[in-house]
Amino acid sequence: NAGVTQTPKFRILKIGQSMTLQCTQDMNHNYMYWYRQDPGMGLKLIYYSVGAGITDKGEVPNGYNVSRSTTEDFPLRLELAAPSQTSVYFCASSDGTAANIQYFGAGTRLSVL
């Protein structure tokens, strides 16, 4: 079972470059999320989606964009990368039931130099 798959696992960007972090899930979950984890900190929500075509901002959305054209995919776009975006990025999905347990991908470690 693949679950939530993130690519790439590692990436180094130069300041001002752009990139897209890919996330796909095969559990037919309606809810998907992007978090970032800074050193020594818990995860903070960047954006989330409750279904195809519907996205909303989380706690730290500045500098990022998302889209949700299908149930399976939820890419995160970084425009004009900055050193402050150096972090580990996690994608998660959940089924929207009462417990709404979130299942996480393995993360993408991004460095902006």
Partner 1 sequence: AQTVTQSQPEMSVQEAETVTLSCTYDTSESDYYLFWYKQPPSRQMILVIRQEAYKQQNATENRFSVNFQKAAKSFSLKISDSQLGDAAMYFCAYRSSLSQGGSEKLVFGKGTKLTVNP
Query: In the stretch 55-74, what mask flags binding to partner 1 with x, by CB under 8 A?
Result: ---xx---------------
Within a 10 A sphere around the Cβ of 113, how many other Cβ atoms?
Answer: 9
Among 43, 78, 81, 112, the residue binding partner 1 under the rule CB under 8 A is 43
Cβ pair 32, 92 in contact under 8 A: yes
Q: Which is nearer to partner 1, 15 or 57 (CB)?
A: 57
Select 19 or 88, whichever has its Cβ closest to partner 1: 88
Q: What's the rounded Cα separation, in Å, for the pair 97 and 43?
A: 22
Q: In this chain, which stretch among 11-19, 64-72, 77-85, 88-96 interacts with partner 1, using CB under 8 A?
A: 88-96
Q: Which amino acid is at 1?
A: N
Phi first, then psi: what are they for 84, rounded to 5°? -65, -15
Residue 69's Cβ-side half-sphere holds a number of Cα atoms within 13 Å equal to 3
The only residue of 14, 41, 62, 113 in contact with partner 1, by rule CB under 8 A:
41
The pair of structure tokens assigned to 60 is 């730290």
Residues near partner 1 (CB under 8 A): 31, 33, 40-45, 48, 50, 58-59, 88, 90, 92, 94, 96, 98-104, 106-107, 109
